[in-house]
Amino acid sequence: MQWSLLRPVGLVPAALALTTVAASAEGGRSTGPSEFLLVAQIVLLIAVGRGLGELMQRIGQPSVIGELLAGILLGPSLFGWIWPEAQQAIFPKTPEQKAMIDGVAQFGILLLLLLTGMETDLKLVRKIGRAAIAISIAGIVVPFACGFVLGEFLPDALLPNPQQRLVASLFMGTALSISSVKIVAVVVREMNFMRRNVGQIIVATAVIDDTIGWIIIAVIFSLASQGTLDVVSVAKAVLGTLAFLVVSFTIGRRLVFHLIRWANDTLVSTAPVITVILLLMGTMALITHLIGVHTVLGAFVAGILVGESPILTRQIDERLRGLISSFFMPVFFGLAGLSADLSVLRDPDLLMLTGLLVLIASVGKFGGAFVGGTVGGLNYRESLALASGMNARGSTEVIIATIGLSIGVLSQNLFTMIVTMAIVTTMAMPPMLRAALAELPMSRDEKERLEREEFERRGFVANLERSLLAVDDSVNATFAAHVAGLIAGMRGLPITVLHIGRRANEQEKGRGQEESHETVVKKAAEAVSDHGKADAGSVDVITRTGRAELGETIADEARKGFDLLVVGVDKVTATRDRFDRRIEDIAAEFEGPLAIVAAKGKHLKQPMPDTLNILVPVSGSGVSKRGAEVAVALAQAGSGSLRVIYVATTRDKGAQRGTSRGLSQEAGILKDTSDLAARYEVEITTTLPVNRAPEAAILREIDTTDVDLVVMGVDRIQADHLSFGGVANAVLRQSKASVLLVSSGEARPASAEKA
């Protein structure tokens, strides 16, 4: 066990020795800035930082602690003390060489703040509401006051410019009051408390702390740049910051969404979305700099806007996180550790001041958060957990300290003291928070909410980000647009309408006075909002026209990352067991989930109905659950009814039983669907047919009830043509009601479906 813990850092001495020899040889040949030394520094910081970060994670600490310790070990605190010549050879203090690695680190700060902003959940803050704001204010004011008072009494020797003590005191107050939302979120997530009530309050409070902290830092940066308390300059910075935030969270939110979608859908180069995001981050950082505040605020706000974009969030996060975590984080935090010379703590006075700083920071933040939690309506245990979590400074503290050192507000010794405080408080937080959270009971309401959210996490509809609607100029296309609008309207999803067949202008002429598909989609989404659904609202709709062959057009759209393709064309079926050629061409080029719409009965005369009376067959299989989800979403989107009928094909024998013990398989599956509907406050009627073939049971239910839409979850069957099996084929051809087939993206062997 001990060997497995030490294995991640086992190659560090060899890497250090090799780099030292190479750096010494290179240093002997060159006196100017060296690209070789830059690469050697980066390699060493990544190797040692990632190795120690891995070790820290294995013992329950954040990886950033290992990356900080790597810099401390490689700096004057240890390596420079044991072998100063070698340390100077690898990390010379010449301004030109230092500027090269500092440039990498400064860009790393912007990327770290971009990632932090992407992890910031403003919806969570809005949900918690006034309680989190009150808690956050109390958690900031108390430690800020403590830090400010400490700054006023610091010895002049610790200040680089004693004449600017006010700025240094403000900086100390901010450094002691801010928390690391990244560290807090990591620990809360690791303990599976992210969705617990108290976990949401902790993270939301940390988000507010971070946001307020960066605004304060931006203002202090402006103050430090002026050198004196220039009221005009400070007012300009404050008003400029407020204007920047207002524009960013109004116009900027939609602009970022459209830029991401435009880059993803239009550009054909590699990783165009990442390129646009980096340009956006840089532009917003430059804007904040021109306002007179620090560039980190622009990067942080850019991250929030990117994280709120309704499309591609998972892909963007995965691609950026890998680069930032593996390269920029170990370089930046390693350099921060290099700048902290812990050998100065051998001075008893500095050691005592550092201990006092840690004590004041911990007591101030812990006490302020605890009082804020109590005032905000939390009980004793919840307030204790909140206070424990908010005491972690981590990466945020180091970034602030680095900014303070770079602009001359902090001295080298004071910087070392703050970094030490950040390491101590961050390492103490995880065990304290784990102990506090382990004692918290769960209420019934909280348990029900967590169960619903866990279901949504694994569900289909809840994870849709964008959908594609392929239509012609038929009545069936209008009905498909109405259905797609209801689904999109439930979550405010963007939707792209792709006109196939004739050109868009010819389609509109052929439709006469009928409304366009875009209007149908928007009206359906607005109808969802009119029914009082909390997450519903208007949807963003764009229109495209297929100008090439149908298969090529679909293939070109499919690469843009759609979660669902809704198809509404005039002719759905061709012969007895074959779909129309156009639908087969569409399905051949789109590998994801399909929703094929076939309007029948009254929907041929009224393709935009006020209500939908839905029937959904369930069998316990994954695809039938997907169909049930879509049916529940459509029922929730408007008025009408939902009927559930149990059926079983040959493939579904032995499907997962219901969650309730003691029930038959059929009754258990129906109960699972009832529970699903109940989560979304949808009333249903269940039917359990006796001794009937699946297609016969479904068709009889249609004939004997007022059902006007059948929603079926189906599998693609491996064949030389598009097929969903015999049951779906029979219902599609014989049903008097409209049919919506919702397929999975994968194809099953033909032997799996014998019905």
Q: Which of 114-118, 285-289, 499-503, 598-602 has the highest mean pLDDT?
A: 598-602
Q: What pLDDT, on the 0 to 100 scale, is given for residue 477?
A: 92
Over the stretch 476-491, which tens digit does the pLDDT of each residue have?
Answer: 999 999 999 988 887 7
DSSP 606-671: -SS-SEEEEEEEE-SSHHHHHHHHHHHHHHHHSEEEEEEEE---GGGTTPPPPSSTTS-HHHHHHH
Pick 211 or 647 by higher pLDDT.
647
Residue of 703, 721, 724 lying closest to 713 (CA atoms): 724
Cα separation, 182 vs 175, whole angstroms: 16
Q: What pLDDT, on the 0 to 100 scale, is given for residue 509?
A: 46
Domains 94-344+356-438 and 610-755 share a fold: no
Q: How confident is the model at residue 247 (pLDDT cuts 50, 70, 90)?
A: very high
The answer on pLDDT for 234 being more than 70 is no
Terminal C-alpha separation, the chain: 55
Q: How confident is the model at residue 230 (pLDDT cuts 50, 70, 90)?
A: low
The answer on pLDDT for 469 being more than 90 is yes
Is domain 442-571+581-594 annotated with CATH 3.90.1530.10? Answer: no
Q: What pLDDT, on the 0 to 100 scale, is given for residue 226?
A: 61
Fold of 94-344+356-438: Na+/H+ antiporter like fold (1.20.1530)
Over the stretch 398-420, which tens digit does the pLDDT of each residue have?
Answer: 777 777 788 778 888 888 888 88
Q: How confident is the model at residue 212 (pLDDT cuts 50, 70, 90)?
A: confident
Q: How confident is the model at residue 23 (pLDDT cuts 50, 70, 90)?
A: low
Q: What pLDDT, on the 0 to 100 scale, is given for residue 1?
A: 44
Pick 467 or 291 by higher pLDDT.
467
Q: Where are the domains of the chain?
A: 94-344+356-438, 442-571+581-594, 610-755
Tokens of 502: 């004739």
Cα separation, 732 vs 727, whole angstroms: 9
What average pLDDT is seen over the chain?
78
Cα separation, 95 vs 630, whole angstroms: 62
716 touches 741 (CB < 8 A): no
The predicted model gives 654-666 an average pLDDT of 50
The predicted model gives 159-182 an average pLDDT of 78
Cα separation, 295 vs 405, whole angstroms: 16
The answer on pLDDT for 149 being more than 70 is yes
Is domain 610-755 annotated with CATH 3.40.50.620? Answer: yes
Q: Of the ranges 26-35, 429-438, 462-471, 537-546, which one carries the lowest mean pLDDT score? A: 26-35
Cα separation, 640 vs 602, whole angstroms: 15
Residue of 237, 184, 179 lying closest to 210 (CA atoms): 179
The answer on pLDDT for 740 being more than 90 is yes
Q: What pLDDT, on the 0 to 100 scale, is given for residue 531?
A: 54
Q: What pLDDT, on the 0 to 100 scale, is given for residue 14?
A: 53
Over the stretch 538-594, which tens digit does the pLDDT of each residue have?
Answer: 688 888 887 778 888 888 888 888 888 999 998 888 777 788 888 988 888 888 889
Collapsed DSSP state (helix, strand, coil) of residue 582: helix
For the chain, give percent helix, strand, coil, nearest 5.
65, 10, 25
Q: Buried b / exposed e across 90-108, counting CB within 10 Å, b at 16+?
A: bbbeeeebeebbeebbbbb
